[in-house]
Amino acid sequence: MRDPFIRHHRLVAYYVYILASGKHGTLYIGVTNDLVRRVHEHRTGVVEGFTQRHGIKTLVHFESFLDASAAIEREKKLKKWRRDWKIGLIERDNSDWADLYQSIT
């Protein structure tokens, strides 16, 4: 018999992500509960705003969290970081600034 808690409990992930206009280009940091949908919105320009105006479409970094508060806190911290620290974070795992979108779809 299956555990009723597992059967009725759905884990929801939250994501903090960094998009770039190109290698060492303009950066955008966001938080979402649906990374594929949100990055697709940025890539297609569905939502007007900063990313559309600056051509920011490349997913270069993301982190997942089970708790929305933790994800929001991380997003706020990253936004306060110096630019060179953000670049270091990206290049730690993605030195070529490859578009990670295909890896999540």
So what's the pLDDT on residue 6?
Answer: 43
For residues 89 and 61, is the Cβ–Cβ distance under 8 A? Answer: yes
Q: How do residues 36-90 score in pLDDT, each as one tens digit?
A: 999 999 999 998 999 999 999 999 999 999 999 999 999 999 999 999 999 999 9
Give the up-direction half-sphere exposure of residue 50: CA atoms within 13 A in the CB hemisphere: 7
Is the pTM above the cut of 0.85? yes
Encoding tokens for residue 103? 């890896």
Q: Which CATH topology does 12-104 take?
A: GIY-YIG endonuclease (3.40.1440)
Domain boundaries, the chain: 12-104
**Residue 47: its pLDDT value, please?**
83
pLDDT at 11: 66
Q: In the beta sheet, which residues pair with residue 69? A: none
Confidence band (pLDDT; 50, 70, 90) for 4?
very low
